[in-house]
Amino acid sequence: MAMKLYGDEMSACVARVLLCLHEKNTEFELVPVNLFACHHKLPSFLSMNPFGKVPALQDDDLTLFESRAITAYIAEKHREKGTNLTRHEDSKEAAIVKLWSEVEAHHFNPAISAVIHQLIVVPLQGESPNAAIVEENLENLGKILDVYEERLGKTKYLAGDTYTLADLHHVPYTYYFMKTSHAGLINDRPNVKAWWEDLCSRPAFLKVSPGLTVAPTTN
Amino acid sequence: MVVKLYGQVTAACPQRVLLCFLEKEIEFEIIHIDLDTLEQKKPEHLLRQPFGQVPAIEDGDFKLFESRAIARYYATKYADQGTNLLGKSLEHRAIVDQWADVETHYFNTLAHPIVINLIIKPRLGEKCDVVLVEELKVKLGVVLDIYNNRLSSNRFLAGEEFTMADLTHMPAMGYLMSITDINQMVKARGSFNRWWEEISDRPSWKKLMVLAGH
């Protein structure tokens, strides 16, 4: 039976898993969860993810939430097919993949998701973006991207010479970010820009990006 | 040659790695990086950790930063030694990863600013953001209810055994339990309190507290 992924294609966290499924050529069924109708807060969904967030995954008896735990599971279960996303065959290289995955989770994600939350989610709730939060997080993001610029001057991808989960996890929020008026943070850093353009050329990205349909305000 | 851990032994992120070393019975050497004098922001340390934080490790030629990546590397490298921190099957490992990620995205996002405002800022003579702290405590209560429910039917976060999912919470929990209000919030949640009392009774935690000067 194919894996079931519960969520909506426009969710960055769902897209993170969709990218992984396509990179690993894994069959799956996307079970829609209507976020606007708050179906992710209903008991039927909370029984899969008590934090009430998409995505959740069902694979036979296993139910999983947290998009990065799901991508790690898919990448390991199907380690022998599709793109090698974890460099599992070498423990030190696998650790470097984990290192830059942690950098995404602890440094990049809090800053970029805060900007996207203000510029996309808050207006959908009928409120105005908080300019101070946007400015503070753009400043943090700039400093983080300075570190990335230096790193990507030495390696083609974050964890080395091949594309891994460390790169993949960045894609959905960066895609939304590039739709805002702050895309210069990426475009003004040549190594980061080249890395981003490479990530956008991947077949898995071309399958998933059409689903990332929410548009930010132009602040 | 033993692994060198660059960090301050009282800081939460180095403690995460130290707990892993202690659980896995791995020898280590601590090279002190003085956070009070901002040694972590100086050029020599920035070469080890470009974000200017602790910890970083050097193990011969191999260098790594990000405490959770370091802990995972050693838990994998020494899989057959000490406590099994990563899970026994593909599915169990995924549940361990899931609750470890919950620590990153739900627990730490609240615990970190609470500890900064209520413990670190007073030490540095800086002003605490009281309004923020109250908001964070409310959110923490909601998150702890979810944990409490999970731990009412599971001895540990990922099931019946202690794993990385539990370990990764411990340094911040140590700090939070020293804050009266938070301590009361924990004690008011029976299963969560039971879990904390059990994991803080582990020899690794007691050894860590001695190393940290408690």
Q: Chain A residues within 8 A (CB-CB) of chain B?
A: 50-51, 61-62, 64-66, 68-70, 72-73, 76-77, 91-92, 94-96, 98-99, 101-103, 105-107, 110, 144, 147, 150-151
Nearest to B140 by CA among B158, B117, B159: B117
pLDDT of residue A36: 87
DSSP per-residue codes, chain A: --EEEEE-TT-HHHHHHHHHHHHTT--EEEEE--TTTTGGGSHHHHTT-TT--S-EEEETTEEEESHHHHHHHHHHHTTTSS---S-TTSHHHHHHHHHHHHHIIIIIHHHHHHHHIIIIIHHHTT----HHHHHHHHHHHHHHHHHHHHHTTT-SBTTBSS--HHHHTTHHHHHHHTTSTTTHHHHTSHHHHHHHHHHHTSHHHHHHGGG--------
pLDDT tens-digit map of A128-182? 999 999 999 999 999 999 999 999 999 999 999 999 999 999 999 999 999 999 9
From chain A, the residues in CB contact with B98 under 8 A are 64-66, 69
CB atoms within 10 A of CB B213: 7
pLDDT band at residue B1 under the 50/70/90 scheme:
confident
CA distance B97 to chain A (A): 5
CATH number for the segment(s) A3-84+207-211:
3.40.30.10
Architecture of domain A91-203: Up-down Bundle (1.20)
pLDDT of residue A218: 54
pLDDT tens-digit map of A74-115? 999 999 999 999 999 999 999 999 999 999 999 999 999 999
Q: Please indicate whether, in this complex, the C-beta atoms of B105 and A102 are within 8 angstroms of each other.
A: no
Tokens representing B168? 């990764």
From chain A, the residues in CB contact with B101 under 8 A are 66, 68-69, 105
pLDDT tens-digit map of A51-75? 999 999 999 999 999 999 999 999 9
B66, pLDDT greater than 60: yes
pLDDT tens-digit map of A109-123? 999 999 999 999 999
pLDDT of residue A207: 98
Of A68, A72, A95, the CB nearest to B64: A95
B195, pLDDT greater than 70: yes
A219, pLDDT greater than 70: no
ipTM attached to this prediction: 0.96
What is the rounded distance in angstroms from the CA atom of residue A214 to the CA atom of residue A11? Answer: 9
A74-106 burial: b if 16+ Cβ within 10 Å, else e: bbebbeeebbbbbbeeeeebbbbbbbbbbbbbb
| Domain-wise residue ranges, chain A | 3-84+207-211, 91-203
Residue B92 contacts A, CB cutoff 8 Å: no
B113, pLDDT greater than 90: yes
Asked whether B156 and B96 are in contact (CB, 8 A), the reply is no
pLDDT of residue A217: 60
pTM here is: 0.97
Q: List the single best residue of B77, B91, B151 to mutate versus A (max A Cβ within 10 A).
A: B91
Q: Please indicate whether, in this complex, the C-beta atoms of A99 and B65 are within 8 angstroms of each other.
A: yes
> What mean pLDDT is reported for chain B?
97
pLDDT of residue A85: 98
Tell me what the mean pLDDT of segment A32-55 comes to: 95
Angle at A154 between CA A148 and CA A156, to 5 degrees: 80
pLDDT band at residue A214 under the 50/70/90 scheme:
confident
pLDDT tens-digit map of A5-31? 999 999 999 999 999 999 999 999 999
DSSP 8-state assignment for residue B160? S
pLDDT band at residue A215 under the 50/70/90 scheme:
confident
Percentage of chain B beyond pLDDT 90 is: 98
Tokens representing A105? 């989770």
Q: Please indicate whether, in this complex, the C-beta atoms of A73 and B101 are within 8 angstroms of each other.
A: no
pLDDT tens-digit map of B134-185? 999 999 999 999 999 999 999 999 999 999 999 999 999 999 999 999 999 9
